[in-house]
Structure 1
Amino acid sequence: MTPEAKAAAHERGRAIYNFRCYYCHGYSGDARTLAATFLDPRPRDFSTTSPATLSRKTMLMTVTHGSDGTAMKAFENTLTKEEIALVVDFVRTEFMERKAENTRYHTPENGWPDHEKQYAPAFPFARGEIPIDTPWESLTPEQQQGKRVFMQSCISCHDRAKVLDEGVIWDPRPVSYPRNSYSHRADGRADAVTGATPYAEHDVALEIADLTPLEKQGEALWLDNCAFCHAANGTGKNWIGSFLEPHPRNLTDPAFMASMTRERLRHAIREGLPGTTMPAWKSVLSEAQLEAVMAYISRAFHPVAGIAAED
């Protein structure tokens, strides 16, 4: 193969890699991507892999058939044999041998003039050196400025970068507030037009035998008032609850409810919770009604210390 033909093949491999592979393996083959942070095991870092330890034959087989137990898919139905060979040879030459940078994104041609200087304060957050959820008061003034730059200009691609609290990886979110004829009192009946169908199962009232008179009163109050946000089943995973930020408390969650007490629950209902959509009910519910709601919560969703023994 002439030097010209070899260079052309290399560029064809680059084009395939930049379209098919960079998302997990990174533009520079180092697997430093957002997608990679969600994968276990992580994608291979070609920049630290020696050609002597990973043969071309093995790479061809892996790209063709995938790798069991990993996120590496088979490309035999996506790429031709020639294209697989081109991208494998590109990876071996560009990353494993040359340790090259490949394609840079933040260039003046792509609309990033003076990127290295203008956005430098945000680099520690983009590179994962400083977790994005580090408390503001723990950051220096320069780091605080860097976080502002990251949140305004970088987060759309770099997303969370690195965080201290992983949180929920995936959570269904409604795209709109309930509309049309939707009602949380429909006992789980919903239609595709309202968009409530995926959440309808949480608005089905629980069937509990042998409720005490106080618990029955609490059930009626719950369904008429509290279920609007917390759902009929107390999970907060209905349409309204999934739409609200932060989500209403899941009163069936053992981890959360294990520390719940009568006084804490009573205070939350009476006074509301600042910084959330939980309002104060002290001017809506009487003390007797409040006791009934708490009795129902303790019976239907999770026992509350100080309530079950009394009621």
Structure 2
Amino acid sequence: MLYGRGLLWVLGGWLSICAAAFGDERHEQGRELYNYRCYYCHGYSGDAKTLAASYMTPAPRDFASTSLDALSRERMIEVVTRGVEGTAMKGFTYYLSPVEIELVVDFVREEFMAEQRVNTLYHTVENGWPDHDRYRIAYPFATGELPIDMPQTEMNAQQRKGLRLFLTSCVSCHDRGRVEDEGAIWELRAISYPRNNFSFTQFDGTTSASVYAEHDQVPRVAGLSEQEKQGEVLFQENCAFCHAADGTGKNWIGSFLDAKPRNLTDPEIMQSMTDARLRTVIEEGLVGTSMPAWKAVLSSAQIDALVSYISRVFHPVADDPVQPPR
């Protein structure tokens, strides 16, 4: 009898170890999926503090500030499966199986919502950042500990050196650094050229430029109307981040997205586009893609200006067919 109880005790302990190991394996599988599919908008630490998130309205969910009681597992699985209409959150059934969706949801719930862990740091050797500590004096400006518009007369020598390092090496990705006075909005545009001479992308063998750099150039078109000029400003400040400055969607960000942004210059894609259809897409977004709805961000007149600019500079947009009188 004692032997039987001892055997059960050992067996129970072994099963507990196996269950823990299996749980750890599932958690790490969820981490791998999250770090590949979700970090870009929701952040490596689930707090949605990313450059991409700063351009999105509504913003991606901050899981680190969301309690388990406030968002059920079932609802999270539904959102990852189907997406959320009117936002940049698309459904992932094309990319993830039902089992993988559960893995990533369970990872988020434990890693961020329950434990508020850091998860994975971006600046690692594996991500192309050897000896990242050499930027340490710039950290206070990247983390927001010090505002980047702090008067340099109030800084010590190391802080002034750190600010220069931040502005020359870090600002491309950390350009939402803390400031005391927002002032005029910064010029928003996609950044293609790699930092620290590292990139997973290819380069032009003659110029050493990023193959995406040419798509960050704003088309120069003479004779734009006032409405088209307004549309140019709106497009370059809001749309070029994904669609590229030249409208092709072939910048780094556009190439990164799985559902590619529409190439607004492609005749085969744009030949059937009408004024009403383009307006609807801008206003309502596209379900299942990263194209969000802009109706709560842009006015009707601003959307008119965007349509006018796209039709003039990238590809003519057909007028809506005239309905015969009844």
Instruction: Check whether the contact 2:123–2:132 (CA below 8 A) recurs between aligned residues.
Output: no
Length-normalised TM-score, structure 1 = 0.50
The corresponding residue for 2:158 is 142
The corresponding residue for 1:22 is 39
Q: What runs of 5+ residues in structure 2 fail to find an aligned partner?
A: 1-17, 192-216, 233-326
The corresponding residue for 1:56 is 73
Partner secondary structure for residue 41 of structure 1? coil
The corresponding residue for 1:154 is 170
Superposition pairs for residues 75-224 of structure 1, below 5 Å? 75-107=92-124, 110-113=128-131, 115=133, 118-134=134-150, 136-137=152-153, 139-162=155-178, 164-165=182-183, 167=185, 170=188, 199-202=221-224
Higher relative contact order (CA 8 A, sep 6+): 2
Instruction: Check whether the contact 1:34–1:161 (CA below 8 A) recurs between aligned residues.
Output: no
Q: Distance in 2 between matches of 1:158 and 1:79?
A: 30
Q: Distance in 1 between matches of 2:25 and 2:43?
A: 22
Q: Provide the aligned C-alpha RMSD in A.
A: 3.5
Q: Quote the offset at 1:26 in angstroms.
A: 0.8
With over 3 angstroms needed to count, the CA separation of the structure-2 counterparts of 1:149 and 1:81, relative to structure 1, is same
Partner secondary structure for residue 37 of structure 1? helix
With over 3 angstroms needed to count, the CA separation of the structure-2 counterparts of 1:68 and 1:46, relative to structure 1, is same
Q: Distance in 2 between matches of 1:52 and 1:33?
A: 25
Partner secondary structure for residue 11 of structure 1? helix
Give the greater-gyration-radius structure (CA).
1
Q: Quote the offset at 1:11 in angstroms.
A: 1.4
The corresponding residue for 1:211 is none
Partner secondary structure for residue 85 of structure 2? coil
The corresponding residue for 2:15 is none
Instruction: Check whether the contact 2:137–2:161 (CA below 8 A) recurs between aligned residues.
Output: yes
Q: Distance in 2 between matches of 1:14 and 1:87?
A: 7
Instruction: Check whether the contact 1:121–1:146 (CA below 8 A) recurs between aligned residues.
Output: yes
Q: Quote the offset at 1:172 in angstroms.
A: 10
Aligned length: 186
With over 3 angstroms needed to count, the CA separation of the structure-2 counterparts of 1:71 and 1:131, relative to structure 1, is farther
The corresponding residue for 2:297 is none
With over 3 angstroms needed to count, the CA separation of the structure-2 counterparts of 1:171 and 1:94, relative to structure 1, is closer
Partner secondary structure for residue 40 of structure 2? helix
Amino acid at match of 1:199: V
With over 3 angstroms needed to count, the CA separation of the structure-2 counterparts of 1:77 and 1:136, relative to structure 1, is same
Instruction: Check whether the contact 1:27–1:103 (CA below 8 A) recurs between aligned residues.
Output: yes
Q: Distance in 2 between matches of 1:81 and 1:144?
A: 51
Length-normalised TM-score, structure 2 = 0.48
Instruction: Work out which of the residue numbers 63, 67, 73 in structure 2 matches 1:46.
Output: 63
Q: Distance in 1 between matches of 2:92 and 2:105?
A: 12
Deviations for 1:189-244, whole angstroms, at most 9, x for unmatched residues? xxxxxx99751343x8x9xxxxxxxxxxxxxxxxxxxxxxxxxx999x8xxxxxxx
Q: Distance in 2 between matches of 1:197 and 1:155?
A: 25
Q: Distance in 1 between matches of 2:64 and 2:189?
A: 34
Q: Quote the offset at 1:111 in angstroms.
A: 3.6
Deviations for 1:81-104, whole angstroms, at most 9, x for unmatched residues? 122111101101111122211112
With over 3 angstroms needed to count, the CA separation of the structure-2 counterparts of 1:169 and 1:56, relative to structure 1, is farther
Partner secondary structure for residue 52 of structure 2? helix
Partner secondary structure for residue 200 of structure 1? coil
